[in-house]
């Protein structure tokens, strides 16, 4: 099998990130993805809260997701490259996040465990430069239809 099965998947994740001010954040999220021949589109919701540096309230984000999945038939470890475009902000303030992930089939057909592979690239608004957010997340992806 060279990719994951076509269909609708839901997912959840949690992890940690360090922003440019070197403040730690705890992240949780969920979403859905439609996969067609390895290409991905969907919606992503996440909430983060600072775990150091003050008592700020949690912040919720909504993103549109696009990208692709590929499963290596010999190692059975897959890779995904996903782009997340913030939906609840103006064009000048919206963040675009690009991240790479590894995944492996869990015990059941069309169920996968997922981890982030490296820092996430962050671009804000229409600025041409990107920053790297140090982020580590893990989650689960399950086909529902």
Q: Name the residue ranges covered by the structural domains of the chain.
A: 7-143
**Rounded distance between C-alpha atoms, residue 99 and residue 97, angstroms:** 7
- Is residue 80 within 8 A of residue 46, CB to CB? The reply is no
Q: What is the pLDDT of residues 35-74, one digit of tens each?
A: 999 999 999 999 999 887 667 889 899 999 999 999 887 8
Pick 140 or 72 by higher pLDDT.
Answer: 140
**Rounded distance between C-alpha atoms, residue 8 and residue 32, angstroms:** 7
End-to-end CA distance of the chain: 19
For residue 119, pLDDT beyond 90:
no
DSSP string, 2-49: -SPPSEEEEEEEEEEEE-TT--EEEEEEEEEEEEETTEEEEEEEEEEE
Length of the chain: 145
7-143 is a CATH 2.40.128 domain: yes
Give the three-class secondary structure for 68. Answer: strand
Type and span of the H or E element at 86: strand 77-86
Is-above-0.85 flag for pTM? Answer: yes
Average pLDDT over residues 94-118: 89
């Amino acid at each position: 099998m060279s990719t994951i099965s076509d269909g609708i998947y839901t997912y959840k994740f949690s992890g940690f990130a360090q922003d440019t001010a070197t403040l730690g954040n705890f992240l949780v999220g969920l979403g859905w993805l439609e996969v067609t021949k390895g290409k991905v589109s969907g919606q992503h919701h996440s909430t983060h809260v600072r775990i150091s540096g003050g008592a700020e309230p949690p912040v919720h984000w909504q993103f549109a997701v696009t990208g692709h999945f590929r499963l290596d038939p010999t190692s059975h470890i897959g890779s995904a490259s996903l782009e997340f475009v913030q939906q609840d902000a103006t064009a000048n303030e919206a963040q675009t996040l690009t991240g790479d992930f590894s995944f492996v089939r869990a015990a059941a057909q069309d169920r996968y465990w997922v981890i982030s592979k490296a820092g996430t690239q962050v671009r804000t608004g229409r600025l041409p430069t990107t920053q790297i957010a140090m982020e580590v997340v893990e989650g689960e992806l399950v086909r529902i239809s």
